Structure formats: structure tokens, C-alpha cells
Amino acid sequence: MYDPREHGTDVIWFGQWVVTSEGIAWGNGSGPSYFVAKDRLWETRPGSDRQIWDWLVHMTEKTWLSDMDIYQLNTAFFFAQDYHAKSRPQGAAQASNWKTLKAQQDELRH
């Protein structure tokens, strides 16, 4: 059985997502699992007119995640960015939180 805590000691859980000492992990004991390393939390992509957080939009493509899993990821993601702020790469781009969540909603509705 997959244990998402194999990616570091757990800090806090949000649904099936756990923020760990090494990043964010997802796993419910059956089916797929996923891990985002703490140094990758600041990856962005172009939005309509500002940069947006890549992971929050990218994960909408995963058909094995429910809308609730995505919403719980949002909470885990923003918590993890704050918790792992010292791991933010020098010169990492800033992204718009509200533009990211809007793009995510647009993807979920398609």
C-alpha cells in the first residue's frame, strides 16, 4: 500500500493531500499517488495576462482526482508554499492566486 509520508515527515493533512517536510503528496491507499517536491511549488505558466501557478491548473487534467481533491490541493498548496518559503528558488516568478484559481475553475468546467 502506498504511504504518501514516504516523501518526508507529515506536517498537516488536507483530505488525501499531506504537506510533508519534502513537499506535497497525495495518496488514498489505492490507485494512483502523486508527489510535488518543495522546490517545484513555484513553477508557473502564462495565464491570460499574468503568470499562474502551474500545479494547480495541471492537476485538473488528472481524471482520478475529484473536484474535492482539487479544492483540497488548493489549501495544501498555499499552505505548503508558506511552510516551504525558504525553499523558494532565487528569482522564482510570482503568480496571481486569483487568476490561477479562475483558470483552474475554467478547466474543471470543461
**What is the per-residue pLDDT across 12-53, written as a single tens digit (0 to 9) for each?**
999 999 999 999 999 766 667 899 999 999 999 999 899 999
For residue 57, what are the contacts with CB-CB under 8 A and spacing of at least 6? 45, 100, 103, 104, 107
Rounded CA-CA distance 68/72 in Å is 6
**What is the per-residue pLDDT across 46-88, written as a single tens digit (0 to 9) for each?**
998 999 999 999 999 999 899 999 999 999 999 999 999 999 9
Answer yes or no: is pLDDT of 109 > 70: yes
Domain ranges of the chain: 4-108
User: What per-residue confidence (pLDDT) applies to 9?
Assistant: 77
Q: Write the DSSP string, 6-24.
A: GGS-EEEEETTEEEETTEE
Which whole number is the average pLDDT over 82-106?
A: 94
